[in-house]
A and B are shown apart, each in its own frame.
Chain A
Amino acid sequence: MTNSIREIGNAACILAIGTNTTEAHPVIALEIKKAVRQGGKLIVANTREIELVQNADIWLRHRPGTDVALLTGMVKVIVDEGLADTAFIEERCENFDDFKESLKAFDLDSVSHITGVPAEKIAEAARTYATNSPASILYAMGITQHSHGTDNVMAIANLAMLTGNIGKPSTGVNPLRGQNNVQGACDLGALPNVYPGYQSVADAAIKEKFEKAWGATLSDKPGLTVTEMFDGAHKGTIKAMYIVGENPPLSEPDANHAIEALTKLDFLVVQDIFMSETAELADVVLPAASFAEKDGTFTNTERRVQRVRQAFEPVGDAKPDWWITCQIARKMGINGFDFESSAEIMTEIASLTPSYGGISYERLEEGGLQWPCPTPEHPGTPILHAQQFSRGKGHFVPLEYKPSVELPDDEYPLLLTTGRSLFHWHSGTMTRRVGGLNDLLGEGWVDISPMDAEKLGIAHGDHVKVSSRRGSVPARANVTEVSDEGVVYMNMHFAESSANVLTNPALDPVAKIPEFKVCAVRVEKNSN
C-alpha cells in the first residue's frame, strides 16, 4: 500500500475494486465502514454483490476482466469534464499528452458495452471519485490475478495520478495483500529477479555487494518463477525442489499439472507444519515450527514490519524454518549460515537492504515500523511518494483493453471467478483443522445466479460438477443473487473441490500472475 490502514477511515471517497474486503481483509473493511459512517463516499466495483455493496453509494457491476475499460472510462470522463488535478499532473507527472490521446478508444458507449455497466453510472463514479478528496483506491487479487493484471494496476495508478490522489494522507493506490507475509517474502528477495529490498540481480554493483557480503559467486540472470519451475519439472530440466511452507497443488492454477510435475521430480524436500498435499509427494518431509513457536517478523500489507514472538517450544522435534535451511546449507558446506537467532538474521538483512536499514528487534519492541526505514533514526514511512515518485515523475501509461484469455463459449458457457472466504485461509492447511471454522463452512460451494440455476435445473444445495478445459471438481450449488447471471464463483480453500483444478494458467506477461479470476466452465447436476 502507498498509504496506511488507519488513514482509510478518513477518506472522503473510497474506490474498492477487485476486493471483497469484508471476507478477505476483515479488519480493513472496518476502516471502510468507518469512512462511510463519517460521510465518505464508497464506490464498489465488483461483479458480485459483496457485503460492502450494502454500504456503497455506487456499485459498478462490471464483467470480470474488464477493469481496464472501466477505470480508463472513468479517467476519460474526468479529463473531458475538466475534473483532473492539472497542477499535480504538471508538477509530478509525465507523458500526459500521449496518454490523453489514448483515451479516444474509451468513450462511454464502448466502455459501457464492454463492462456491462450503464454509461451514466460510470460517469457518476468518475465524478464522485474526482470531486471528493482525499480519495483512496483499494484493490486486491481481483485486479492482479488476470492475464492483463499489470495493465489493471497501471489503470488504477493513472486514475489516482490524474486526480492528485497520491502522496497525501487517506489517498493512494492500495493493494491489499493476501497472505500474512506476501509483502515480506517479496521484500526479502524470495523472487527470481531481485535480492532483498528489490535490488535487481542484473545490476552489477548490487551483485558485487551481495557476493562480497555472502562470500559466494552469484548469477546476474533472473531465475525461474514458480510456474516456470513446474514447467521445468514437467520437461525434466528441474530434477529437485526444496519447498518451504507452500502447497502448490492447491494454490497453483491447473492443479493437476502441478501434481504431475511434482511426481516427476527425482527428489522433493518439503518443509511444513502439516502433512500437506505437497508433503505427501515428498522424499523428505521436515517438520517446521508454527508462528507461535518461533521468533521473527512479518511485514503487513501497509509495509509495516511487526514482531512474531515465540510463546512456547515447538511441538515434538519441529524447528524454525530458518534453522532448518541453515542446517541444510551447513551440511552442504556453504558458508554464511551460522545464525544463532532470528534477531541476528535481521541484523544481516538491515545491513544489506536499504529499505530495512533502520529496522532492528530493539526498535520493534516499541511497535511496528513501515519501510522505507533506512536508518536507525528514521521513523518509518506511512505514506509513499509524498515528495516524488520512486522513479522521479509519475508516468501515465496509455492502455488498451484486452479481453481475458478464456471466455465462455457454447461448450463452457459460464464464467468462473474465484476468491476467499472469511472462514478459511489460502489452501486451508491451517483453517480446515479448526473445528469451528469447518462447522461454519466445511465444503466447497459454487455460487450461481437464480437465472442460471433455473436454466440448468439446479436447486440450492444440489451436488454439482463444475468442469473446465483442465478438469472437473464436485461442489454444492449455492443459488444466490450475489452472483451475476453468467458468472459463477468458488473459493480456493478446499482440496476436494479445488477451484484451481479449473482455473486457467495463462500468465500476465510482466507479473507472471495466473488468470485465477476468469475462466470458462460448465456446471452440471451430479447424478449421485
Chain B
Amino acid sequence: MGEITLTIDGQEIIGDEGMTVLDVAKRAGIYIPTLCYHPDLAPYGACRLCIVEIEKMRGLPTSCTTPANNGMVVQTKTPQLQEFRRGVLELMLSEHPHPCLTCWRRERCGPFDICLRNVDVTQRCVLCPKNKICELQDVVDYIGIADVDLPYTSRELPVDRENPFFERDYNLCILCGRCVRMCQEVRGIGAIAFTSRGSESLPGTAFGRPLRDSDCKYCGACVDVCPTGALIERRRKWEGVAEDKVATTCPYCGVGCQLELELKGGRIMEVIPLQDNDVNRGQACVKGRFGITEFVHHPDRLTTPLIKKNGGLEEATWDEALELVASKLSGLKKDEVAVISSAKCTNEDNYVVQKFARTAFGHNSVDHCARL
C-alpha cells in the first residue's frame, strides 16, 4: 500500500492509501468528534459530528466516510465546523437528558450532592453508569454547549431489564446505530435492528419481543460499543469508575480471548474484551463477558484446607493439610500413586505438577482430562 501525505490543521501527516481522513487524523493523535464511527464497523456517516473542511471540496464532508487522498488540506476545528456540530448536537440532545451535560459543575458533582439547578434524578449524569466514561460527554465538552435551545422531550420508554446481564434504556439512545451494526456486521446475528416505535425509529428486536425470544447470544458486543448509557451491564450499574484494570486471558474455552478486568475495592466490576491483540480483537462471548465475576467472587469458593474427619470434611490449617498429604503419599509404594493435572490450570501449574509426579514417584503416571 502506498503512502500518502495530508495536511491536517497545518500539520503534515502521513497515511496509507485506503485510509479515511478520520483514520489519518486519529493516527496522528488529532481528535475529531465522532459518535457513529467505530473502528470495527463499516463507515456509516450518520451522526455528522466528524465533519471537516477540505480544500477544493464542496460542503462539509464527514471524515469517517471520506477517503484520504494525497495532498489533501484538511481543517478539523474551524468556527464554522464547531457551529455546525453544535446544531447537530443540539438536535440530538433534544431527545437525551442534557441539563448536566451543559452544566459547568458536572465534573465535580457527586451522587449525594444537592443539585442547585433542581435537575430531576432521572436526568442527572452523575447517576448514569456511564458518567465520566461517556462518549457523548466527551463530544459535548469538545464542542462546548452552554445551553440547548430545544426543550428535552423524554421518550418515556420503560427500561428493559428482562435479560440477566444488561439493561436497555433507550431513553438515552442517540441513534448512532453502533449496536445494530455490531450485532449484524461483526457478530453475524442481527438480533436487533432499527424498528419503529411511535414516531421514531429505535434499536430493538423484531416486534419488540424480549431478547430471550430473539437470536441474541448475550455476547455483550452491543453494550461494549454503545457510546452512551443506553446499554449497560447491570452489575456495574452502581459501581462508578474503575479503580484499576488488569489485562488477562479468559479462563473458559481454548480461544484464549484477551480480557480486561475492571476492578474496584478488590473485586471485579466488569470484564471488557481487549481490542489490541490478534486473538479476539475486541470480541468475547457470554461466558467471558458476563460469566466471570460471579464465579470468582462466589461464596462457595473454597477458602481453607479441609481434612476428612469422622466421615465429614473439617477445616484445617495449611500445615496440617500439607503434613498429612506428604506423609500419606510418602507412605505408599511409588507406583500406587497417580497424579491428575488440569487443563484449566496455568502452564506453570502444570509444569510443577508433572515435575512433582515424575520426581517424587519416579514414574510417569501423570495425565489430565484433555481428551475429554
Q: What residues make up the interface of A, taking CB atoms closer than 8 Å to B?
A: 4-6, 22, 24-30, 33, 37, 55, 144-145, 176-193, 195-196, 201, 210, 214, 216-219, 221-226, 229, 232-233, 237-246, 248, 251-253, 266-267, 269, 272-275, 279, 282-288, 290-294, 296-302, 304-313, 315-322, 325-329, 331-332, 334-337, 339, 342, 345-346, 348-349, 367-368, 422-426, 430-431, 433-437, 439-440, 511-514, 516
Contact = CB atoms under 8 A, between A and B. Distances in A.
B268 interface: yes
Nearest to B245: A311
Contacts of B367: 190-192, 223-226, 229
B248 A308 contact: yes
Contact of B358 (A216, A224, A287, A437): A216
A325 B188 contact: no
B295 A433 contact: yes
Given A288-B302, A425-B253, A310 B246 contact: yes
A325 B353 contact: yes
B302 A272 contact: yes
Contacts of A337: 352, 355-356
Interface in B185-232: 186-188, 212, 217-219
B283 A27 contact: yes
B32 interface: no
Interface in B56-113: none
Contacts of A336: 355, 359
Contact of A184 (B298, B304, B318, B350): B350
A226 B371 contact: yes
Contacts of A229: 338, 340, 365, 367
Nearest to A285: B306
B363 A267 contact: no
A192 B365 contact: yes
A119 B355 CA distance: 52
Contacts of B297: 315
A273 to B, nearest CB: 6
A210 B287 CA distance: 39
A216 B359 contact: yes
A299 B285 CA distance: 19
26 contacts: A6-B278, A27-B283, A30-B187, A145-B371, A186-B370, A190-B370, A192-B365, A218-B362, A223-B365, A244-B341, A244-B342, A246-B341, A252-B372, A282-B308, A286-B321, A290-B295, A292-B292, A298-B251, A301-B254, A306-B256, A318-B303, A336-B359, A342-B346, A422-B217, A437-B164, A437-B291
Contacts of B344: 179-181, 245-246, 426
Contacts of A437: 164, 286-287, 290-291
Nearest to A342: B348
A274 B329 contact: no
B325 interface: yes
Contact of A185 (B277, B296, B345, B363): B345
B356 A291 contact: no
A425 to B, nearest CB: 5
A431 B346 contact: no
B267 interface: yes
Contacts of A514: 371-372
A226 B366 CA distance: 8
B372 A4 contact: no
B329 A216 contact: no
A337 B281 CA distance: 38
B143 interface: no
Interface string B276-314: 011111011111001110111110111111111000010
Given A190-B366, A321-B353, A240 B324 contact: no
Given A180-B250, A349-B348, 16 more contacts: A27-B280, A30-B188, A179-B344, A185-B345, A223-B365, A237-B335, A241-B337, A241-B340, A287-B302, A293-B296, A300-B255, A311-B244, A315-B297, A331-B326, A433-B295, A434-B295
B153 interface: no
Contact of A242 (B247, B306, B340): B340
B362 A5 contact: no
Contacts of A27: 255, 257, 279-280, 283-285
A97 B311 CA distance: 65
Nearest to B217: A422
Nearest to A311: B246
A309 B253 contact: no
A33 to B, nearest CB: 4
Contact of A320 (B349, B358, B364): B349
Nearest to A22: B217
B354 interface: yes
A238 B346 contact: no
A322 B347 CA distance: 10
B351 A349 contact: yes
Contact of B336 (A223, A237, A297): A237
B363 A221 contact: yes
A180 B256 contact: yes
A285, A286, A292, A425: most-surrounded residue (chain B CB, <10 A):
A292
A294 B285 contact: no
B368 to A, nearest CB: 4
A308 B360 contact: no
B255, B318, B324: most-surrounded residue (chain A CB, <10 A):
B255
Contacts of B370: 177, 179, 182, 185-186, 190-191
A146 B349 CA distance: 29
Nearest to A437: B291
The 3 closest A-B pairs by CB, nearest first: A316-B303, A300-B256, A296-B346
B300 A433 contact: yes
B140 interface: no
Contacts of A217: 362
Given A292-B296, A305-B347, A240 B286 contact: no
B165, B267, B268: most-surrounded residue (chain A CB, <10 A):
B165
A274 B300 contact: yes
A243 B347 contact: no
Contacts of B283: 27, 30
B202 to A, nearest CB: 25
A328 B303 contact: no
Given A367-B277, A431-B287, A190 B368 contact: yes
B345 A244 contact: yes
Contacts of B11: none
Contacts of B275: none
Contacts of B268: 292, 311
A379 to B, nearest CB: 13
Given A311-B263, A317-B304, A437-B287, A185 B348 contact: no
B323 interface: yes
Contacts of A180: 249-254, 256, 343-344
